[in-house]
Amino acid sequence: MNSQCIPVLSDLTDELSSQFALLEVSVVDGYGGPPVADQAVVVRNGRIPAVIPMGEFRSDPSVQEVVLEGHFVMPGLIDAHVHLSGGRATIDDQEIGVIAEPKLLRAIRSVYEAQQLLKRGFTTARDVSWNGLWGITAATVTPSQAVGIST
């Protein structure tokens, strides 16, 4: 079993057409039930029009097939409380530690932290900014954006 939660699209971008099917995957639907094994997830132009059992899947020359036996497909996760650029100083100097850090370094760390969230399956994050310097932001990553964030 693959224990990593890495968007498959990020590794296959150059190889995939606008229509493809992820085959032999287990699907976690996000409603609390157990994963459904041996499924086909059909993707057309960035949308998922069908999730069907492998027994019902029919090959189509216009649909590229990607066999991912042993992998899981699930909706993106949401983290509603992250600190992408702050909170690295010791507890005694939290505020001065964040304020004194160069803005460019905070920006670079924020990008890195966002990439780490994405690699773990989070496609939406809310940066809560405990110190009030950054305000509250939310961003949703689409599959095409996820592709560009791979390392």
Residue 103 has pLDDT above 80, yes or no: no
Prediction pTM value: 0.60
Paired tokens of 120:
């773990």
Paired tokens of 82:
């992250």
Contact 27, 57 (CB under 8 A): no
Binning pLDDT at 50, 70 and 90, where does residue 4 land?
very low
Contact 58, 52 (CB under 8 A): no
Tens of pLDDT, residues 118-150 = 888 888 888 876 544 444 344 444 444 443 333
Give mean pLDDT, residues 11-34: 82
Paired tokens of 151:
């390392």
